[in-house]
Amino acid sequence: MKIISQLEANKGTVSSALGKALAKKVLEGDLDILNEAIELCTFDLINEKTKHIRAGAAKIVELVAEKKPELMAPFLEKLLPALTVKEPQTRWMIIRTMGFCAPLNKKTAKKAISFARQYIKENEGLCIVSSADLFLGDFGAISSKDAELVFPYLEESSQNVILNEQDWLMESFIKIFKLVNDDCRGKITKFAKQWTSHSRKSTQARANKLLKLTEEHG
């Protein structure tokens, strides 16, 4: 089965329904779809007119990586060029894929850190900035050494928060909280305290979870 024809017919930048349907087939055992999707993430790399193909393939890859990272981890090297494409949609799904697979292929996932920093600095919108934040949290959650590697980049991001980014920063801080040193934990706690009275209940919940971690740590 060739999925490129389906992705070509999908003129929307990202088709969640199609991506979910094809990812479901992969998770049920159709690895031919996965192999093609991996290749299509970097299809016609600099041609903006084929972005819907790359983004559609990246959606499949991301969904599979979230559920079964062991299927994707061996192929991260092939996906690295997709972090350079123009369209943010492909990049944010591939950077998330790197995070999901980081514990299983740390060596390659580490190469995505520079891209995450770039996405945060360039600030092309919440989806890609928050995906970069979440990737850093996933990578940092591997070990104390990795947590302290990514913490300065998350801290930098937390000093220039865009609308609603705080939730995803706190998700990442929750993942690494127990792995970083006391100085880092103090900075995380200070950040969390800014959001305890936010209008969004989800933001309050994440902030309070971090403050609870602070109390537990003593």
Name the domain boundary from 68, 101, 134: 101
Residue 92 in any domain: the answer is yes
Claim to verify: residue 52 and residue 127 sit in the same structural domain:
no
Average model confidence (pLDDT) across the chain: 95
Claim to verify: residue 194 and residue 154 sit in the same structural domain:
yes
Claim to verify: residue 95 and residue 140 sit in the same structural domain:
no
Claim to verify: residue 117 and residue 181 sit in the same structural domain:
yes
Q: Which of 111, 102, 56 is nearest to 84 (CA)?
A: 111
Claim to verify: residue 94 and residue 148 sit in the same structural domain:
no
Claim to verify: residue 191 and residue 170 sit in the same structural domain:
yes
| pLDDT 10s digits, 201-215 | 999 999 999 999 999
Claim to verify: residue 119 and residue 203 sit in the same structural domain:
yes
Question: What percentage of the chain reaches a pLDDT higher than 90?
Answer: 92
The DSSP H or E segment spanning 104 is: none
Statement: residue 51 has pLDDT above 90: yes
Pick left, alpha or beta for residue 29 (phi over 0 → left; psi -120 to 50 → alpha; otherwise beta): left
Under a CB-based contact definition with an 8 Å cutoff, are residues 167 and 206 in contact? yes
Claim to verify: residue 56 and residue 89 sit in the same structural domain:
yes
- Measure the CA–CA gap between 138 and 96, rounded to whole angstroms: 9
Claim to verify: residue 95 and residue 117 sit in the same structural domain:
no
What is the number of residues in the chain?
218
Under a CB-based contact definition with an 8 Å cutoff, are residues 147 and 173 in contact? no
Residue 83 in any domain: the answer is yes
- Measure the CA–CA gap between 173 and 75, rounded to whole angstroms: 28
More confident residue, 108 or 16: 108
What pTM did the predictor assign? Answer: 0.96
> Is residue 76 exposed (0-12), middle (13-18) or buried (19+ Cβ within 10 Å)?
buried
- At 12, the amino acid letter reads G
Residue 106 in any domain: the answer is no
Categorize the per-residue pLDDT at 12 as very low, low, confident or very high, splitting at 50, 70 and 90.
low
111-145: b (≥16 Cβ within 10 Å) or e: ebbebbbebbeeeeebbbbbbbbbbbbbbbbbeee
Q: What angle do CA 71, 73, 78 make, to 5 degrees?
A: 110
Q: SS in 3 state form for 178-210?
A: HHCCHHHHHHHHHHHHCCCCCCCHHHHHHHHHH
Query: Based on the structure, what is the number of domains in the chain?
Result: 2
108 φ, ψ (degrees, to nearest 5) = -75, -40
Q: Which of 35, 12, 13, 11 is nearest to 22 (CA)?
A: 35
CATH number at residue 164: 1.25.10.10
State mean pLDDT over 180-196: 98
Distances (CA, A) of 9 to 3, 76, 145, 169: 10, 27, 45, 36
- Owning domain of residue 47: 1-101
Claim to verify: residue 96 and residue 117 sit in the same structural domain:
no
Claim to verify: residue 69 and residue 161 sit in the same structural domain:
no
Residue 108 in any domain: the answer is no
Statement: residue 1 has pLDDT above 70: no
Claim to verify: residue 93 and residue 133 sit in the same structural domain:
no
Residue 172 in any domain: the answer is yes
Name the domain boundary from 77, 101, 125: 101
Name the domain boundary from 75, 101, 127: 101
Q: What angle do CA 80, 166, 92 make, to 5 degrees?
A: 20
